[in-house]
Structure 1
Amino acid sequence: MNKLTDYTSYADAQHHWSVEKLWDIFDGSREQLNIAHECIDRHATDPERVAIIVVHADGHDEILTYREIAQDSSRFAHYLAEQGIGPGDRVAVMLEPSRAFYTTLFGVMKTGAIAVPLFTLFGPDGIRLRVGDCAPKMLFTNDEKISMVEDTPSLVSVVVNNAFLTDLSRYDERYTVRTGSDDLAIFQYTSGTTREQPDAIKHSHKALVTLMVAALYGTGLRPGDRFFCPSSPAWGHGLWHGTLAPLALGLTIGAFSGRYNASRLLQALSEHKFTNMSAAATHYRMIRNSPDVNTYSYSIKKLSFTGEPIDSATESFIEDLFGASVCSMYGTTEIGVILVSYPGADDFPVKNGSLGKPIPGGVVEVHDADGNVCLPGTVGEMKVLRRGAWIPTKDLGRTDEDGYFYHAGRADDVIISAGWTMSAVEIEDAILKHPDVLEAAAIGVPDELRGQVVKAFVVAKRPGDEQLKQDIQDSVRSQLSQHEYPRQIAFVSELPKTPAGKVHRKKLREQEAGKVQREIEPISQQ
């Protein structure tokens, strides 16, 4: 009987997909399943089979086989058991992609404990909030970060370095997993700021099965792909879509370790002949601005992005560079992926700027404020049907006559000026088409006459002056309606970003609100 991985077309995806067939991809059952076994151990029979090529920012590559990770993680699982770690215990992992990271991550899940990936660039506040929330018994990190966590009460902190990994050799290289499918495996934190309490999404081992829908139809993963995802595995995209899903299919994957560098990524894509890549819009924008973009030749056949919309100028550039359509994959950490563009499906026309169509078996609609379905072209809130109830995404969107969905920004990213409703996403897209603009973010700021006006924050290739400001405004006016342009422009050296790399408009709005408050306070005190 054919498996879902045998089909590549959009028509076959709609015809053959079922929940039952998802389970056929795995060894486990609805009762018993373990992520570490599905992703690593069952592919370790061939000692030469490469699992992960870790591309380090400093220039070296670390090549890890399935056999090596299987043995290391089993030894680590025995070590954890010796430390008293058992099913249900939380274990934090704050390491860059490396032998240490994969040993620790999969070793934790083999024991039945819950892995909690933490971003390596967190400062003390970010660490404190998450550690305080999930209360891990142990935290594994590197030499650089240990000073930030070793004084945390009731937390055992351990440095995983070469000496630690060598010492693991005294443990058995085999470990028998005994987790149930419904047992918790991973706590995944959303990318809140360090001053806000982030949410922990609690995933069971069987979440790997549900994830395969996004893997097959959002990133287009199929046997034989060589897959690269430069996103950090501390976040949902880098961990679930970039690491667990492709490893569950037995693929060779690439991961980026250290500060992201587009030129280093391009070198690795070329040298290791990666055929499929999924990245954030920010990664693609940095590729576009890399001086080495035309230095190499590439083997890329499939491309996807997620996290935030990609601007049309970058989208066109990337498609010309790699000769493949850039396919959107839309969802949230809480609800998962719900809209995809089916990379690799020759019978699915990819529409630039669209989010694609619902995943097989999925039902997504755009609703107005009264809960009615919006007509094509009308902006409303995107919602997904789950267990008979409509779940809001908190994102605005619209559909077209062909059933494709389009993003219209977060609900709080809408700008209303003089009665006109404008989308920050559309304005940013227009700004980014200017040849001297590298990055842009648009928000609404108070205006006495219009209520709000658009203010753009721009990172430019040349010094920002009145001429560049006028050029950008004229460019936007020529693309959008005459009223839809940034009346205020601030030239900045960089834009604030969430830890996951998305432009942090909320921080810009808070920054502007603080300015207004400082102007009002002296008057109110008179």
Structure 2
Amino acid sequence: MPKLTDYTSYADAQRHWSPQKLWDLFDGTRERLNIAHECIDRHAGDPDRVAIIVAHADGRDEILTYRQIADESSRFAHYLAAQGIEPGDRVAIMLEPSRAFYSTLFGVMKTGAIAVPLFTLFGPDGIRLRVQDCSPKLLLTNDDKIGVVEQTPGLRCLVVNDSFLAGLSRYDAHYPTRSRADDLAIFQYTSGTTRELPDAIKHTHKALVTLMVAALYGTGLRPGDRYFCPSSPAWGHGLWHGTLAPLALGLTIGAFSGKFNASRLLRALSEHRFTNMSAAATHYRMIRNSPDARAHSYSIQKLSFTGEPIDGATETFIEELFGTQVCSMYGTTEIGVILVSYPGAEDFPVKHGALGKPIPGGVVEVQDADGKVCPPGVVGEMKVLRRGKWIATKDLGRTDEDGYFYHAGRADDVIISAGWTMSAVEIEDAILKHPDVLEAAAIGVPDELRGQVVKAFVIAKRPGDEQLKQEIQDTVRSRLSQHEYPRHIAFVSELPKTPAGKIHRKKLREQEVRNSLPEAEHTIP
């Protein structure tokens, strides 16, 4: 009986997809399923089968087999049980991709406890807020971070290093999983600031099944792929799309550990012959700016991106570098992936700048303020139909005559100037067309005459003088319209970003508000 992984075309995706066929990809049932078993243990029969290649920022490669992770995660599960960790308890994991991270992540889920990945660059406030929210019985970290972690009072911490892992050898290398499909498995925090705690998205073990829609049609995963995702597994893209989905299909995957470096990533892609990559738009921009981009040969056949739109210049460069089109995958942590470009489907034309079309079985619309469908070309809010109700994405978008969707920015990233509605995303894309611009962000700032005008923050290759400012303004005028150019431009050395690498426009807006206040109002007593 053919499985969904046997089909690659867009037509077959629409014809053969069904919820039941997703379940056919797993050992588990609608009643009993465990993520650790599905992702690791069932692929561990061959002791030499490589699961993960970790490219460390310092140049090391760490190669981990399915058997190694299966055995060590089982031993760690026994250790947790001996420490009194029970099903439903939360265990926070603040580790970079490594043998320690994967052994503990899957060991936690084997016991029926709930894994809570935490970003390793969180400071004391970021840790404290999340710990207060999810109340973990234990937090796992490394030698470098233990001093920061221990600043949270009452938190039970454990350093997981090589000596600790060696000590697990006294435990049994088999752990029987008993979780139900509806049991909670993972708490996933979205990438907000440390002062504004996002809600934890609570995932059950069966979320892995739903995830496979995005895996098959958003990243184009198929048996035999060698797949790299450089996003941190502390966030949704790196954990679900970069780790759990491909491991559930038994693939060899690549992960990046440490401070991201595009040259290091490119070397790993070349040396280990990765054929499929999914990354954030920021990663692709850094690849474009890397002096080593053309120094290697690559085996890439499928590319995808998510997180935020990719600018046209970067999109063109990446496609020329790797010899294949880069496909958008759009969704949010809360609602999942809803729009894809079907990587690997030869009968699906990928349009530059488009988010793609709905996943198989999905219904997505662009609606106006009254909930009516917007005609092609008209901007409205993108919404998805779930269980008979329309769920707002909080993103603006439009469609074209062929049914492709396009991003028009976050609902709060709209700039309204003199009655004109402008998209920060489109303005940024136009600014990035200038050959001396490396990164750009656009926001609306108050203006007495027009209500708002566009202010751009630009990182440039050359000094930011009046000449460059005029060139950038002319570039935008020529590509968009006369009223959409940035009337104010600030040249900066860096842009604020969320931990997941997205440009943090909200921080820029808050910064502008603070700068506009009288000096006495900057500090609140």
Q: TM-score range by the shorter chain?
A: over 0.9
1:46-85 pair list within 5 angstroms: 46-85=46-85
Contact 2:34 2:110 survives alignment (8 Å)? yes
Q: Compute the displacement of 1:521 (Å).
A: 5.5
In structure 1, distance between residues paired with 2:26 and 2:196: 38
How far is 1:448 from its partner? Answer: 1.1
Match of 2:231, SS state, is: coil
**1:269 is matched by which residue type in structure 2?**
L
Match of 1:109 in 2: 109
Structure 1 equivalent of residue 392 of structure 2? 392
Cross-structure match for 2:39? 39
The residue identity in structure 2 corresponding to 1:329 is M
Residue 519 of structure 1: how far off its partner (Å):
6.5
1:73-110, Cα deviation, whole Å (9 max, x unpaired): 00000000000001000000000000000011000000
Q: Which amino acid aligns with 1:122?
A: F
Answer yes or no: is the 8 Å Cα contact 2:328–2:355 preserved in 1: yes
SS at match of 2:463: coil
**What corresponds to 2:380 in structure 1?**
380
SS in 1 for 2:517: helix
Displacement of 1:151 = 4.7
Instruction: Report the AA paired with residue 386 of structure 1.
Output: R
C-alpha distance in structure 2 between counterparts of 1:469 and 1:81, whole Å: 62
* Offset of residue 520 of structure 1: 9.2
* Aligned-partner Cα distance in 1 for 2:147–2:204: 31
Q: Distance in 1 between the 2:306 and 2:519 partners?
A: 39
Alpha-carbon offset, residue 153 of structure 1: 3.6
Contact 1:41 1:67 in 2 (8 A): yes
| Contact kept in structure 2, 1:130 and 1:198, CA below 8 Å | no
Matched, 1:211 2:211: yes
Kindly state the Cα deviation for residue 197 of structure 1 after the two structures are TM-superposed: 1.7
Aligned-pair distance for 1:148?
Answer: 1.7
Report the equivalent of 2:147: 147
Could you tell me which runs of 5 or more consecutive residues in structure 2 were left unpaired when the two chains were aligned: none
Residue by residue over 1:119-153, the C-alpha shift from the partner in whole angstroms, topping out at 9 and shown as x without a partner, is 00001111011011000000000111111222534
Paired residue for 2:185?
Answer: 185
Query: Aligned partners of 1:153, 1:26: CA distance in 2, in Å?
Result: 42
Using the TM superposition, give the Cα deviation of residue 210 of structure 1 relative to its aligned residue in structure 2, in angstroms: 0.2
Matched, 1:227 2:227: yes
Determine helix, strand or coil for the equivalent of 1:452.
strand
Match of 1:323 in 2: 323
Please say if residues 454 and 488 of structure 2, whose CA atoms lie closer than 8 Å, have aligned partners that are also in contact.
yes
CA contact (8 A) 1:93 1:105 kept: yes
Report SS of the residue matched to 2:354: coil
1:416–1:422 CA contact under 8 A, matched in 2: yes
In structure 1, how many angstroms separate the alpha carbons of the residues matched to 2:153 and 2:171?
29
| 1:189 positional shift | 0.2
Corresponding residue number in structure 1 for 2:129: 129
Contact 2:124 2:151 in 1 (8 A): no
Where does residue 163 of structure 1 map in the other structure?
A: 163
The answer as to whether partners of 1:278 and 1:304 remain within 8 angstroms in 2 is yes
> What corresponds to 1:451 in structure 2?
451
Equivalence for 1:512: 512
Distance 1:493 1:112, change over 3 A: same
1:15-72 CA distances to partner (integer Å, 9 max, x unpaired)?
0000000000000000000000000000000000000000000001000000000000
Alignment of 1:328-367 (within 5 A): 328-367=328-367
Amino acid at match of 2:146: I
* Number of the residue aligned with 2:270: 270
Q: Residues 489-504 of structure 1: matches in 2 within 5 Å?
A: 489-504=489-504
CA deviation map 1:141-177 (0-9, x unaligned) = 0111111222534421010001000000110011100
Secondary structure of the corresponding residue to residue 441 of structure 2: strand
Rounded to whole Å, the distance in 2 between the matches of 1:234 and 1:129 is 16
Q: Which residue of 2 aligns with 1:488?
A: 488
Distance 2:517 2:389 in 1: 41
Change beyond 3 A, Cα 1:176–1:481: same
Q: Distance in 1 between matches of 2:463 and 2:121?
A: 30
Cα contact 1:94–1:141 (8 A) shared by 2 = yes
Give the secondary-structure state (helix, strand or coil) at the position aligned to 1:330: strand
Please say which of residues 48-57 and 414-423 is displaced more in the overlay.
414-423
Alpha-carbon spacing, 1:368–1:161, altered in 2? closer, same or farther (3 Å): same
Alignment size in residue pairs: 522
Contact 2:219 2:342 in 1 (8 A): yes
Deviations 1:397-428 (A, max 9, x none): 00000000000000110001111111000000
Amino acid corresponding to residue 219 of structure 1 in structure 2: T
Contact kept in structure 1, 2:340 and 2:355, CA below 8 Å? yes
Task: Output the CA distance in 2 between the equivalents of 1:376 and 1:480.
Answer: 19
2:127–2:152 contact (8 Å) kept in structure 1: no
Q: Distance in 1 between matches of 2:519 and 2:413?
A: 24
Distance in structure 2 (CA, Å) of the matches to 1:310 and 1:153: 42
- Deviations 1:218-273 (Å, cap 9, x if unpaired)? 00000000000000000000000000000000000000000000000000000000
> 1:405 is matched by which residue type in structure 2?
F
| 1:133 alignment partner AA | D
Q: CA deviation at 1:440?
A: 0.1
Letter in 1 for 2:149: V
Following superposition of structure 1 onto structure 2, how do residues 8-27 of structure 1 map, counting pairs within 5 Å? 8-27=8-27
The letter of the residue matching 2:61 is D
Task: Tell me if structure 2 keeps the 8 A contact 1:137–1:154.
Answer: no
Residue 394 of structure 2 aligns to a residue in which SS?
strand
Q: Residues of 2 paired with 1:475 and 1:192: CA distance?
A: 32
Match of 2:118 in 1: 118
Aligned-pair identity (%): 84
Q: TM-score, normalised by structure 1?
A: 0.98
TM-score (norm 2): 0.99
Separation of aligned partners in 1, 2:190 and 2:135: 17
- Please tell me whether the aligned partners of residues 459 and 491 of structure 1 are also in contact (alpha carbons under 8 angstroms): yes
Whether 2:443 is the aligned partner of 1:433: answer no
SS at match of 1:214: helix
Q: Secondary structure at the match of 1:103?
A: helix
Letter in 1 for 2:500: A
SS at match of 2:247: helix
1:341-395, CA deviations, whole angstroms, 9 ceiling, x for partnerless residues?
0000000000000000000000000000000000000000000000000000000
- Give the root-mean-square deviation of aligned CA atoms: 0.9
Whole-Å separation in 1 of the counterparts to 2:513 and 2:422? 20
Which secondary structure does the structure 2 equivalent of 1:355 belong to?
A: strand
